[in-house]
Amino acid sequence: MLVLVANLGSTSFKYRLFEMTDDGALDDIQNARCLAKGAVERIGDAESHCTVEIGDWSDQLTMAVPDHGVAVEACLKQLTDPEHGALKDASDVAAIGFKAVHGGRLSGVFVVDELVLDAMAEMNAAAPAHNPPYIAAMRTLKERFPDLPLVAAFETDFHQTIPAARKEYAIPRQWADEFHIRKWGFHGASHRFIAYRSAEILGRKEARVISCHLGGSSSITAIENRQSVQTTMGMTPQTGLPQNNRVGDFDPFALPLILERTGLSLDEALKQLASQGGLLGLSGNSGDIRDLEQAAEAGDQGSQLALDVYVQEIRRHLGGMLVTLGGADAIVFTGGIGENDSLVRKGVCQGLSELGIELDEQANEDLRQRTNDQGEASFHGSGSKTQLWVIPTNEEVIVARQTIHALRQ
């Protein structure tokens, strides 16, 4: 079965095409073959860029792409290239699976219909950068390809197993019941992949694992028996760890003071917290961890502060996860920063030998030379009770597997 997995932005359409066994279990992450990957960038501009990679062949088109429906048509044109294409015909695709963000009262995996779109629209205020472009694209695709099933796999789904005591806010009960205000958690596909793959590596499904998804957007999840039992993000993707330009945890009672002193409207202040906060706000110059490390090495104090706050917040939440789990069998780093930044991994893991966590500094530095074919490697010391791993995530294969399961219902 062929499944196209889509990751949308307001002006982008990134995708991977998978060949899947249609009888595999949800945790069957090995029996999937990525046939192609590509992207359409600058949707809505006079010139959009459509790229595709199929094996050793790659192609790029420059054309006007006014909406996501035309973007899908462009990608299908490349995928069905007579000489190099991965598809004989566009109808070979069984479904498009979306790594959707927030469905509020709907948290799971659903074939897209009006009920799903309405539930997503109810959460537009909680996920303004994600939900509106997904809704618009889904509506366009339903009109353009009425016979092609669309499936929404919400990021909140993996966190439904978190106990109530760890996901409820101390707010008036009415707000929680009527407006679905609670700690939903995100990055669900990534943390689910780490749950499944780390269990395979450790050789036991009941393992206690702390998954650190660190990148432009970051979150940490405590996993037991391959289920989420605690996570850092809350009602929205704005909360938890500082993001590259999003605020992370923040006292809402500071907002009236900000509004009073700056003259900003509430909407303007929220937009600044969502676009000028996080590591960018702390440093004053960049939200990219690579830029910050380079500037800090040159003596920039703001950049060093941003790095220090980021690492300390990871450590603070890591401590809570260790208490929740009663210790950990493994701590896994994934995402662009988690997989590639040895300084962040060192900052998070050093000085924790009393907790049974011992870092092998040389192994951490040499990690790229020690990875297996899947890019995985350990970097714990020989006496560490807790294993330390880098495992590249694969959110798309999780969404592809969830899509097949939704089609069976």
CATH classification at residue 32: 3.30.420.40
Q: What is the pLDDT of residue 150?
A: 96
Is residue 171 domain-resident? no
Going residue by residue through the chain, which has 409 residues, state the pLDDT in tens, using 9 for 90 and above: 999 999 887 788 899 999 988 777 888 888 889 999 999 999 988 899 999 999 999 999 899 999 888 898 889 889 999 999 999 988 899 999 999 999 999 999 999 999 999 999 999 999 988 899 899 889 988 998 899 999 999 999 999 999 999 999 999 999 999 999 999 999 999 999 999 999 999 999 999 999 999 999 999 999 999 999 999 999 999 999 999 999 999 999 999 999 999 999 999 999 999 999 999 999 999 999 999 999 999 999 999 999 999 999 999 999 999 999 999 999 999 999 999 999 999 999 999 999 999 999 999 999 988 888 889 999 999 999 999 999 999 999 999 999 999 998 7
Q: What is the pLDDT of residue 361?
A: 96
φ, ψ for residue 359, nearest 5 deg: -90, 135
Q: Which residues are annotated as a binding site for ATP?
A: 14, 288-290, 336-340
Is residue 348 domain-resident? yes
In contact, 222 and 230? CB cutoff 8 Å: yes
287 and 146 share one domain: no
221 and 128 share one domain: no
Q: Nearest CA to 328 among 223, 200, 229?
A: 223
281 and 390 share one domain: yes
Phi-psi region of 110 (alpha: psi -120 to 50; beta: other; left: phi over 0): beta
118 and 214 share one domain: no
63 and 208 share one domain: no
Phi-psi region of 267 (alpha: psi -120 to 50; beta: other; left: phi over 0): alpha
Q: Which residues are annotated as a binding site for Mg(2+)?
A: 7, 395
Is residue 233 domain-resident? yes
Q: What is the pLDDT of residue 350?
A: 96
Instruction: Identify the domain boundary among 154, 187, 220.
Output: 154
Q: Which residues are annotated as a binding site?
A: 7, 14, 288-290, 336-340, 395
Q: What is the pLDDT of residue 278?
A: 97
The two tokens of residue 409 are 């219902």
The two tokens of residue 103 are 């469905």
Decide the pairing of beta strands 93-98 and 2-9. Answer: parallel
Instruction: Identify the domain boundary among 154, 172, 194.
Output: 154
Q: What is the pLDDT of residue 369?
A: 84
Separation between Cα atoms, residue 168 and residue 362, nearest integer Å: 42
230 and 328 share one domain: yes
112 and 8 share one domain: yes
Is residue 109 domain-resident? yes
18 and 134 share one domain: yes
214 and 90 share one domain: no
Is residue 402 domain-resident? no
Residue type, 140: T
pTM for the model: 0.94
7 and 141 share one domain: yes
Is residue 391 domain-resident? yes
Q: How many residues in total does the chain contain?
A: 409
Number of domains the chain contains = 2
Domain that holds residue 273: 203-395
Is residue 163 domain-resident? no
Is residue 136 domain-resident? yes
Q: What is the pLDDT of residue 200?
A: 96
284 and 383 share one domain: yes
271 and 149 share one domain: no
- Beta-carbon contacts of residue 115 (< 8 Å; ≥ 6 apart): 106
